[in-house]
Amino acid sequence: MIKDIHKRKFIFNLLTGITYISLSKLLFLKKVNAKNKPNVVILGSGIGGASCLKYLNKISDLINLIVIDKNKKIRTGPFSNLVIGDIMEEADITFFLNKKKYNNVKFIFDEAKYIDSNKKFIEFSDGNKINFDYLIISPGIGYKENIIDGYRINDKVSVPHCWDGDGDLNYFKKRLGVLENNSLIIISSPDYPYRCPPAPYERASLISNYFKKKKINVKVLILDSKDSFTKQQNFFKEWSFYYKNTIEWVSRKNGGKVVFFDRKSNLVKNDQGESFKADFINIIPDQKAAPIIFNSNLVSNNDDWCQINPITFQLINFKDIYVVGDSINAWDMPKSAFSANSQAKVLSLNLINRILEKDYIDPVFLNTCYSFSKDDRAFSISAWYRLNSSEDRIVSLGSSESQVRLNSTETIKEAKHAYGWYKTLVNDIFL
Amino acid sequence: MKKISFALFIFICSNCFSDENKINIIVENCRACHNVNINVKEIPYIYDLPKIKFIELMLSYKKQKDNNVMTRINRVLSEDDIRKIADLMYD
C-alpha cells in the first residue's frame, strides 16, 4: 500500500516535473530560436569548475556549454599530502574529465591569458578568442611574490610548494627521499587566508609518518605566520601520541614568521632576525586570487580576492562573470574542495534559474574538511552556512570539530569517511 | 533515466518557496558524500533504506554524545528539516 502511494507520488512528481521542464524549455527555446543559444563558458575544470559542469550539463541542450582548461588532466589538491606521505600515488589523485558524460560540451585545452569583461571574450596565448554570454571562472589560487625575501614562486631548484595541481610532487618526494637520519625539515606555513587551512599541519604529520615508517629520525619544524591554526588541539594531540619530539610548531609571535630565504645555504630567517638552517625547506607561500583575475583587472581597490554576490556568485561590478572556489572572498567559508563543490551547486542552480528566468534559490552551503595524521587516522571540521539577514555575506551557523582520543575508533572511522568522501567527489565530477 | 533525473532536477531547483528551497539545497549538499549514483564502501549508502529508518537514524544522531561527523552535521537540522529531507529523498 505504502509502496503504491510512493509510486503514485513519484509518477505525479515526475509528470509534473516533465510538464514543467517541457513548458520551460518550450518558452526558452522560443526565445532561443530568435537568438542564438547563449554561450556559457567554464574556465577551469578543477573541483569548482567540474562541479559546475556536472549541473550545467543538465541543460546542455539549451545552451552552448564550453569548458576551457590549460590541462587535460586534473590533479586534485585534496589528498596530495597523502601522495607526499607515500600513502597514495600521484596517479590516484589525477583525473581526466570523462567526456563521454558530456556529449554536448565543447572542450578547449589551451591557456586563457585575458578576459575582456566589456566585450565579453576570452583571449588565448595564440591570440585566438572565444565569446561568452555567461562566464564561470574557477581558477584556483595565485601566490604573493616578495613576502619572503629571496624566495621565488616558480624557482625550479627549490623544493616546490606543491599547493596546486602544477607543483612537482615527484620532485618533492625525491628531495624528501634522500634525507638521512637526524635531518631537519622546515615547513613555512602561510598567513590567512589561504587554500585548505589545516593542510600545512597535515603535511607535517604525514611527512613524519613517512619517516617513522622508514625508521629514519627526522624532525619537522613548522614556522608559522599565524598564532593559531584550525584543528590545532586535535593536531597537538595526534603529534603527542605519534610524533612526540618529532614535530615542533613555532607561532608567529614566537618567531614563526619567515621573512628571508637563502636557497644556496638552505637557510631561512624570521622577523626577529633569527636564522634556521635545514636540510629541506618547504615554503608554502601567502596566497591571493589566480593570475587571470589580476591580468584581466577583475579585482578592484587592491583586493587580493574576488568580491562576489553570495546568491549568484556574480563578480561585483562585472555583469555575467561568475567566480567560484578558492579565488573568492567567501566570508566565513574556508577555501576548501568541499566548499568549492558546495558553492558550485548554488552558482549553477542559480545560473540555470537565471537562464530559465526563474527565481533564485536561497543558498545553503556545507563544508567538511578532513585532515589525516597518519594512514588510518583523520579528523574533521564541519559547518553549515547561510546568508546573513541583509543577504550580502555568507555566515557560518557554527563550526564543530571531531574530538581526537587515542583509544577511540572514531578517528579511524573518520579516515574511512575521508577516503569515501574523496572517492564520491571525484567519481561524481570527473569520472 | 537521464531524462527522469533531468526533469526531477529542474523540478527541484525551480520550485522556489523559501523553505522547500532550503531543503532542496541541503539535500544537494548531502550528496557530496551520499551520492545516489555512487556507492562507496566507506560511506553508508542511504537510498535503499526505508524512509522511516532514515528518519530514525537521523534523529538518533541527535541523542548521540560522541562527536562524529554526522552528529555534528545533524546538530543544525531540526526534526522538521529531517522529515522534509526524507520526503524529498524517498517520495
Tell me if chain A has a CB within 8 Å of the CB of B6: yes
Which domain covers residue B77, as residue numbers? 2-90
Share of chain A above pLDDT 70, in %: 92
- Across A97-113, average pLDDT: 95
Would A67 be classed as within a structural domain? yes
Residues of chain A positioned with their CB less than 8 A from the CB of B43:
417, 420-421, 424
What's the rounded Cα separation, in Å, for the pair B51 and B91?
8
Alpha-carbon distances of A65 from A52, A60, A285, B21, rounded to whole Å? 11, 6, 35, 26
Cβ A17–B38 below 8 Å, yes or no? Answer: no
Tens of pLDDT along chain B (91 residues) come to: 444 444 444 444 444 334 677 899 999 999 999 999 999 999 999 999 999 999 999 999 998 888 889 999 998 999 999 999 999 999 8
Would A370 be classed as within a structural domain? no
Would A146 be classed as within a structural domain? no
- Counting the structural domains of chain A, the total is 2
What confidence score (pLDDT) does residue A17 get?
A: 44
Q: What pLDDT, in 10s, does the model give residues A29-54?
A: 555 544 579 999 999 999 999 999 99
What confidence score (pLDDT) does residue A12 get?
A: 45
User: Is residue A267 domain-shared with residue A167, that is, in the same domain?
Assistant: yes
Mean pLDDT over each residue of chain A, to the nearest integer: 92
SS3 A311: coil
User: Is residue A256 domain-shared with residue A301, that is, in the same domain?
Assistant: no
Q: What pLDDT, in 10s, does the model give residues A197-214?
A: 999 999 999 999 999 999
- Counting the structural domains of chain B, the total is 1
CATH for B74 = 1.10.760.10
Which domain covers residue A353, as residue numbers? 36-140+290-360
Tell me if chain A has a CB within 8 Å of the CB of B78: no
Contacts for A398 with CB less than 8 Å, ≥ 6 apart: A383, B75, B76
Alpha-carbon distances of A330 from A190, A324, A343, A362, A396, rounded to whole Å? 19, 9, 9, 16, 11
Is the peptide bond preceding residue A193 cis, with omega within 30 degrees of 0? yes
ipTM above 0.90, yes or no: no
What's the rounded Cα separation, in Å, for the pair A370 and B45?
20
Question: Which of residues 12 through 51 in chain B touch A, CB cutoff 8 A?
Answer: 13-14, 16, 18, 21-22, 24-26, 28-35, 37-38, 40-43
Alpha-carbon distances of A182 from A215, A280, B50, B89, rounded to whole Å? 11, 12, 57, 56
Contact B74, A398 (CB under 8 A): no
Of the residues A342, A360, A378, the one at which a domain ends = A360
What backbone torsions phi and psi does residue B90 show, to the nearest 5 degrees? -115, -20
CATH for A133 = 3.50.50.60
> Residue A16: is its pLDDT beyond 80?
no
**Crossing angle between the packed helical segments A410-429 and A337-355, to the nearest 10 degrees:** 40
Residues of chain A positioned with their CB less than 8 A from the CB of B11:
13, 16-17, 20-21
User: Is residue A246 domain-shared with residue A354, that is, in the same domain?
Assistant: no
In this predicted model, which residue has the larger pLDDT, A22 or A194? Answer: A194
Looking at this protein, which amino acid is placed at residue A253?
K
Q: What pLDDT, in 10s, does the model give residues A110-154?
A: 999 999 999 999 999 999 999 999 999 999 999 999 899 999 998
User: How would you classify residue A395: left for phi > 0, otherwise alpha for psi between -120 and 50, otherwise beta?
Assistant: beta
Of the residues A236, A251, A285, the one at which a domain ends = A285
> Residue A300: is its pLDDT beyond 50?
yes
Share of chain A above pLDDT 90, in %: 88
Question: Which of residues 412 through 431 in chain A touch B, CB cutoff 8 A?
Answer: 413-414, 416-417, 419-421, 423-425, 427-428
Of the residues A360, A381, A411, the one at which a domain ends = A360
Tell me the sheet residues that pair with A268.
A261, A276
What confidence score (pLDDT) does residue A35 get?
A: 59
Q: What pLDDT, in 10s, does the model give residues A346-375?
A: 999 999 999 999 999 999 999 999 999 999
Would A93 be classed as within a structural domain? yes
Instruction: Name all contacts of A388-393 with Cβ < 8 Å and 24+ positions apart.
Output: A391/A310, A391/A311, A392/A310, A393/A310, A393/A331, A393/A332
